[in-house]
Copies of this chain bind each other. A is one copy, B any other.
Amino acid sequence: MKVIIVGGVAGGATAAARLRRLDETAEIVVFERSGYVSYANCGLPYYIGGVITDKEELTLQTPESFWQRFRVDMRVRHEVTAIHPAEKTVDVRNLATGETFTESYDKLVLSPGARPTQPALPGVGIDRLFTLRTVEDTLKIREFIEQHHPRSAVLAGGGFIGVELMENLRELGIDVTVVQRPRQLLNPLDADMAAFLHAKLRQKGVRLHLGCTVEGFAANGDRVNVLLKNEAPLTADMVVLAIGVTPDTGLAKAAGLELGIKGSILVNDRMETSAPDIYAVGDAVQVKHFVTGQDTLLSLAGPANKQGRIAADNICGGDSRYPGSQGSSVIKVFDMTIATTGVNEKTAKQAGIDCDKVYLSPMSHAGYYPGGKVMTLKVVFEKGTYRLLGAQIVGYEGVDKRIDVLATAIHAGLSALQLKDLDLAYAPPYSSAKDPVNMAGFMIENLSHGLVEQFFPEDVDALPRDGSVTLLDVRTPGEYADGHAEGFVNLPVDDLRERLREVPVGKPVYVICQSGLRSYIACRILAQQGFKCYNLSGGWRLYETVVR
C-alpha cells in the first residue's frame, strides 16, 4: 500500500506516525510545502516573544528523525499542485528545484490546514505587513524585529493567534494596537466574558480599537498606515494581519471534492472525503459540532491530531470514528488564563436553543491558603432539559482545570444538575471543598427548583427607577460607597431580617451584591417573606466589568 499525505504537521505527521505503527510495509510519503515538518504552530508566537528561545524547539521531528524512527519519506518544500482522484495520482512541485512530477497513491490523506485569511484590501502584500502560520513566517517576523526594533505594531484581528501575538509583542516592549471589527476580542467568548479580557489588556497598555473596520494598508516611509472605516488611520512600524483562517483547500476544490463552509472539505466521521480512498483531517475539514450537531469549522490542534490518527486507523482497515468537536480551547494572556468549551450563549441562541446561564466568581483554591485568585465562570445550559451547552472561564490559576472538567462533563452528556455531584479532588492548594464546578451545579439546581430567579447585567440599566420596583444592594456600606448601580439602595444582607420593614411590600425586589452569593441569600430571605425577587447573576463585579 502506498499512502501519500499532503501537509506534514499536526494532522499529517500524526497520521504518518500512526500509519507506520499499524503497517510496517506501507510506503508513506508526506509532501510539505514549507521547509519544516512536525512544527509547533502553537508555539510560534512564543518564539517571536522570546519565551521559546531555541529554534530547534519549534520542530518536534525533522524529516531525518521521521525517517529514522518511522521510515516515512517526508519531503519538505514540496507542494502538491493537483489531485487526480480518477487516476489516483497527485502532481507535485519541488519548490527548491522547480521540478514537477506525478506520484500515484493507494490512499491519500489531506491535511493542508488553513491559511491566514487575506482580505481583498488595498495594500495587502506590502512590506512590514505580516501573517503568521509557518516557521518561515515566524522567522521573518522575528528577524524583522531584531533588525528594525519596531516600537509600535498594529494587529488587525483579535482571535486566538492575534491575542497571543499581541502578548508576545507587548512583552518585547512594543506598543500594540489591536483593531477588531466585532466589538470584542476572542469570538468563542460572549461579550460579557470578553470584557474581563479587555480590562486586562488596557491595564497592560494595549490599545483596543473594537468595532472598527480595517479598509486597507499603505506604506508610509519606514512605517505602515492602517486605514480604518470612519476613523483616522493608524500608523505603526509593523502590522500583523490575523483576522482568522481559511481552509487551504484550493487543491481539494480543483479536484472536485465536495466542499462545505468557507471551502472546507466535507468528510464523514471516518474522515473520508467524497472521493474514494481520499481522507482529509484538521483545519481543512468541516466538522460536526458536538453540542449543536451543526456543521462548523474549528482550527484546533487537538482535533487535528485525533483526526489524523483516525484516518490512519481507517486506512489500515480499522473503524475509528470522530465524535465531533466541542471547541475546547484555552489561552494565556499575560498572567490571565481564558478558556472555553462547547458553545457560548450567542451561538446557542443563534442555533435556536432556548438557554439559561449562571455566573459565579469562586476562588481558584481555598481562600485561607495563600495565592488563590478569583475566576469568573459562566455556564450555559438548555432551559428545561438542563443539557450542558458550554462554559467560559476567565481567571488565573485553575481555569484550565475547570474547563477540562466541564468539557469532560459535556462530552459524557452529564446534565448541568449533575455538576453538583462530581467527586473532585480537594486539598487547600488546589481547590475548595465545594469546587467551582460543583458550585455551578448547586446554583443551577437552585434555579431548577425555583429557589431563586435571576436578572442580568444587561437588564440593570433598564429597570424602572420610578419606585415601582425595589432596588437593593446588600453589600456592606463600604463596598456600596466604593461604587454601586444608580438607584440601588444599600441594605446589608446581615441587617435584612431586622430592617425588613424598609422593603416596600407588594413590589418586586431586584437584589445586587458583589458576586451574587449574598444577594442569593437575601433573595431567599425575601422570597420566604412573600416578596417576588430577582438576584443579579454575577453581581456588581460582572456588572461593573461588562456595563461600565
A425-B497 contact given A21-B524, A24-B528, A369-B43, CB 8 Å threshold:
no
- Which residues of chain B are within 8 angstroms of A305 by Cβ–Cβ distance? 433-434
- Which residues of chain B are within 8 angstroms of A429 by Cβ–Cβ distance? 332
Q: How far is the CB of A130 from chain B (nearest CB, A)?
A: 20
- B414 near A302 with CB under 8 A, answer no
Q: Identify which of B10, B304, B328, B368 contacts A424 (C-beta below 8 A).
A: B328
Q: Tell me what chain A mostly uses at the interface: helix, strand, loop, or mixed.
A: mixed
- B24 near A368 with CB under 8 A, answer no
Q: Identify which of B327, B369, B435 contacts A46 (C-beta below 8 A).
A: B369
- A521 near B424 with CB under 8 A, answer no
A430-B366 contact given A24-B525, A407-B425, A423-B407, CB 8 Å threshold:
no
> Chain A 422-461 against B: per-residue CB contact (8 Å), 1 yes, 0 no?
1111111111011100100010000001010000000000
**A504 at interface (Cβ–Cβ under 8 A)?**
no
- B422 near A408 with CB under 8 A, answer yes
Q: Identify which of B25, B69, B401, B403 contacts A400 (C-beta below 8 A).
A: B401
Q: Identify which of B400, B426, B497 contacts A71 (C-beta below 8 A).
A: B497
A190-224 at interface with B (beta carbon < 8 Å): none
Q: Which residue of the partner chain B has the closest CB to A44?
A: B428
Scoring A24, A413, A497 by chain B CB atoms within 10 A of each residue's CB, the highest score goes to A24
- Which residues of chain B are within 8 angstroms of A400 by Cβ–Cβ distance? 401, 425, 430-431
- B425 near A24 with CB under 8 A, answer no
A51-B302 contact given A69-B493, A424-B404, CB 8 Å threshold:
no
- A69 near B494 with CB under 8 A, answer yes
CA distance A497 to B20 in the complex (A): 12
Q: How far is the CB of A347 from chain B (nearest CB, A)?
A: 16
- B426 near A301 with CB under 8 A, answer yes
Q: How many copies does the complex hold?
A: 2
Scoring A40, A43, A404, A430 by chain B CB atoms within 10 A of each residue's CB, the highest score goes to A404
Q: How far is the CB of A269 from chain B (nearest CB, A)?
A: 11
CA distance A449 to B339 in the complex (A): 34
CA distance A328 to B427 in the complex (A): 10
A489-544 at interface with B (beta carbon < 8 Å): 493-494, 497, 520-521, 524-525, 528-529
CA distance A493 to B409 in the complex (A): 39
- Which residues of chain B are within 8 angstroms of A318 by Cβ–Cβ distance? 449
**Which of A52-60, A90-98, A147-155, A242-250 is the contact stretch?**
A52-60
**A68 at interface (Cβ–Cβ under 8 A)?**
yes
- A339 near B306 with CB under 8 A, answer no
CA distance A305 to B60 in the complex (A): 46
CA distance A449 to B309 in the complex (A): 15
- B414 near A330 with CB under 8 A, answer no
Q: Which residue of the partner chain B has the closest CB to A10?
A: B433
Q: Which residue of the partner chain B has the closest CB to A523?
A: B21
Q: How far is the CB of A469 from chain B (nearest CB, A)?
A: 22
CA distance A10 to B426 in the complex (A): 13
- Which residues of chain B are within 8 angstroms of A521 by Cβ–Cβ distance? 21, 69
A354-386 at interface with B (beta carbon < 8 Å): 366-370
- A425 near B341 with CB under 8 A, answer yes
CA distance A10 to B57 in the complex (A): 48
**A42 at interface (Cβ–Cβ under 8 A)?**
yes
Q: How far is the CB of A270 from chain B (nearest CB, A)?
A: 14
- Which residues of chain B are within 8 angstroms of A420 by Cβ–Cβ distance? 306
Q: Which residue of the partner chain B has the closest CB to A65?
A: B494
> Chain A 17-37 against B: per-residue CB contact (8 Å), 1 yes, 0 no?
000011111000000000000
- B401 near A51 with CB under 8 A, answer no
> Chain A 124-146 against B: per-residue CB contact (8 Å), 1 yes, 0 no?
00000000000000000000000
A270-318 at interface with B (beta carbon < 8 Å): 290, 300-306, 309, 318
**A411 at interface (Cβ–Cβ under 8 A)?**
yes
- B528 near A430 with CB under 8 A, answer no
Q: How far is the CB of A238 from chain B (nearest CB, A)?
A: 23
- B69 near A339 with CB under 8 A, answer no
6 residue pairs, one from A and one from B, having the closest CB atoms: A412-B412, A330-B425, A326-B423, A301-B433, A401-B401, A24-B528
- A interface vs B, CB < 8 Å? 10, 21-25, 40, 42-43, 46, 51-52, 57-58, 60, 68-69, 71, 290, 300-306, 309, 318, 323, 325-332, 337, 339-341, 366-370, 400-401, 403-405, 407-409, 411-414, 418, 420-431, 433-435, 438, 442, 449, 451, 493-494, 497, 520-521, 524-525, 528-529
Known pairs A69-B493, A408-B408, A411-B414 / 10 extra A-B pairs, C-beta < 8 Å: A22-B524, A42-B426, A42-B427, A303-B423, A309-B442, A330-B426, A332-B429, A341-B425, A403-B425, A408-B424
